[in-house]
Chain A
């Protein structure tokens, strides 16, 4: 079945450490890619998205993601995390013909220790 995979569901790291969250998808063709963030007790917010063009996408709060078509990947990175980055992060894919019916990964729970 077509899917979106996120690894290392729980990530614990210290402030100023670098963060990288992996996302792989199994859909062929042209896809739109997203990372959403859910802070504790809040609803999902868009971090960044890729539709076309430069495969290195910069989002809010210092996050960036790189689309590597040959690897079917869209990994999220932040060079230096802060305590306020504690949240759950979801990768999502709008597959070909998906009509914005996004398929989500299972999420990464990230805890940043001050």
Chain B
């Protein structure tokens, strides 16, 4: 089934620990994105990648890093987690050639204690 998969589904993490959220898409979309969703704040863009090999910073990049070694995968890493990074994280992708809307993954619910 075509789409975006994210792992893990949920995670509880101690502050200071390193964590990588995984995102894989099989639609051969050029662009990929990481958003965090917080109650009352909507979705905010963390990092993005317009194409494999390139990445860029979004609205709230601090404390996060990404890589885009190939078209399909776009992992998000928290080098040293803090409680303010407790959130639901959504990976998304788009075929930047025409449709210009985003397809979203199921999300990862992360709790940092």
Q: Indicate, yes or no, whether A interacts with B.
A: yes
> Is the CB of B66 closer than 8 A to any CB of chain A?
no
Do B102 and A102 have beta carbons less than 8 Å apart?
A: yes
Q: In chain B, what residue has the closest Cβ to A9?
A: B40
Binary interface encoding of chain A residues 71-114 relative to chain B, with 1 for a CB under 8 A from any of its CBs, else 0: 00000000000000000001010100001111111110000000
Given A43-B107, A99-B50, are A49 and B101 neighbors across the interface (CB < 8 Å)? yes
Given A32-B100, A94-B100, A99-B50, are A43 and B42 neighbors across the interface (CB < 8 Å)? no
When distances are taken between beta carbons in the complex, the residues of chain A under 8 Å from B48 are: 101
> Is the CB of A44 closer than 8 A to any CB of chain B?
yes
What is the minimal beta-carbon distance from B5 to any residue of chain A, in angstroms?
11
Binary interface encoding of chain B residues 78-113 relative to chain A, with 1 for a CB under 8 A from any of its CBs, else 0: 000000000000101010100011101111000000
Q: In chain A, what residue has the closest Cβ to B33?
A: A101
Do A106 and B102 have beta carbons less than 8 Å apart?
A: no
> Is the CB of B2 closer than 8 A to any CB of chain A?
no
Q: Beyond the given A43-B105, A101-B48, could you list 14 further A-B residue pairs with CB under 8 A, ordered by the A residue number? A: A9-B40, A42-B106, A43-B107, A44-B102, A90-B42, A90-B43, A94-B100, A99-B31, A100-B31, A100-B100, A103-B45, A105-B42, A106-B42, A107-B42
